[in-house]
Chain A
Amino acid sequence: MSEPLELQGADRDEGTVVLNMGPSHPSTHGVLRLVLDVDGEVVTRCRADIGFLHRGFEKIAENKTWTQFITWTDRMDYLAPVSNNVAWALAVEKLLGIEVPERARVLRVLLCEMARVSAHLLWLGTHALDLGAATVFFYTFQQREILYDLYERLTGARFTTSTVRIGGMARDIPEGWLDDVRAFADQVTKVIDECDRLLTRNRIWLGRTQDVGIISREDAIAWGCTGPVLRGSGVEWDVRRAQPYLDYDQYDFEVPVGTVGDVYDRYLVRMEEMRQSVRIIRQAIERMPDGPLNADAPKVVLPPKEKVLTSMEALIHHFVIVTEGFHPPEGEVYHAIEAPKGELGFYIVSDGGPSAYRCRIRPAAFVNLQVIEKIAVGQMIPDVVGIIGSLDPVMGEVDR
Chain B
Amino acid sequence: MIDVNDTGPAAGWETGEALELLRSEFPGGILREERFRGQTTIVVPRERALEMLAYLRDTEGCAFDFLTDVTAVHWPAREKPFEVVWHLYSFPRNVRLRVKVELGADEEAPSVVELWPAAGWLERECYDMFGVRFDGHPDLRRILMPADFAGWPLRKEFPLKC
B-contacting residues of A (Cβ < 8 Å)? Answer: 1-2, 4-5, 50-51, 54, 56, 58-60, 62-63, 94-95, 97, 219, 221-224, 235, 237, 242-243, 330-334, 336, 343, 345, 347, 349, 357-358, 360, 362, 366-367, 370, 374, 399-400
Tell whether, in the assembled complex, residue A366 and residue B121 are in contact, meaning their CB atoms are under 8 Å apart.
yes
Q: B39: which A residues are within 8 A, CB to CB?
A: 332-334
Across the interface, B69 reaches (CB within 8 A) one of A63, A330, A333, A347, namely A347
CB distance from B160 to the nearest CB of A (A): 5
Starting from the known contacts A2-B148, A221-B66, A333-B37, 8 additional A-B residue pairs (CB-CB under 8 Å) come to: A51-B144, A56-B153, A221-B65, A222-B118, A331-B36, A360-B71, A362-B87, A367-B118
B146 touches A51 (CB 8 A): yes
Q: Which of B1, B116, B160 contacts A222 (CB 8 A)?
A: B116
B154 within 8 A of A: yes
* A360 & B69 in contact (Cβ 8 Å cutoff): yes
Question: B residues within 8 Å of A by Cβ?
Answer: 1, 3, 11-12, 36-37, 39, 41, 65-69, 71, 73-74, 85, 87, 91, 94, 96, 98, 116-118, 120-122, 125, 129, 142-148, 153-154, 158, 160
Q: How far is the CB of A73 from chain B (nearest CB, A)?
A: 17
A224, B66: Cβ atoms under 8 Å? yes
A54–B149 Cα distance when bound, in Å, is 13
Q: Nearest-CB distance from B17 to chain A (Å)?
A: 20
Q: Are B120 and A370 interface neighbours, CB within 8 A?
A: yes
Closest to A362 in B: B69
Using CB atoms, name the residue of chain B closest to A63: B160
- Knowing A97-B37, A347-B87, A358-B73 are in contact, say whether A242-B12 is a contact too (CB < 8 A): yes
Residue from the set A5, A94, A332, A345 with the largest chain B CB neighbour count within 10 Å: A332
CA distance A400 to B146 in the complex (A): 14
- What A residues does B69 contact at CB under 8 A? 334, 345, 347, 360, 362
Query: Closest CB of chain A to B7's CB: distance in Å?
Result: 11
In the complex, what distance in Å separates the CA atom of A343 from the CA atom of B69?
11
Kindly provide the distance from the CB of B102 to the nearest chain A CB, expressed in whole angstroms.
14
Cα of A336 to Cα of B117 in the assembled complex, Å: 21
- Cβ-defined contact, A370 with B121, below 8 A: yes
Q: What are the residues of chain B within 8 A of A4 when measuring CB–CB?
A: 147
24 examples of A-B residue contacts, CB within 8 angstroms: A5-B147, A51-B142, A51-B144, A54-B144, A56-B153, A58-B154, A59-B154, A60-B160, A97-B37, A221-B91, A224-B68, A237-B91, A332-B39, A333-B36, A334-B96, A345-B69, A349-B73, A358-B74, A360-B69, A360-B71, A362-B68, A366-B121, A370-B121, A399-B144
Contact A1 B148 (CB under 8 A): yes
Give Cα distance in the complex from A144 to B52, angstroms: 48
For residue B147, which residues in chain A have a CB less than 8 angstroms away from its CB? 1-2, 4-5
Residues of A within 8 A of B118 (CB): 222-224, 367, 370
Q: Which residues of B contact A95 (CB under 8 A)?
A: 37
**Are A343 and B68 closer than 8 Å at their CB atoms?**
yes
Kindly state the separation between the CA atoms of A85 and B36 in the bound complex, as whole angstroms: 23
Contact B3 A222 (CB under 8 A): no
Say whether A235 contacts B120, CB under 8 Å: no
Cα distance, A362 to B116, chains bound together (Å): 16
Contacts of A370 in B (CB 8 A): 117-118, 120-121
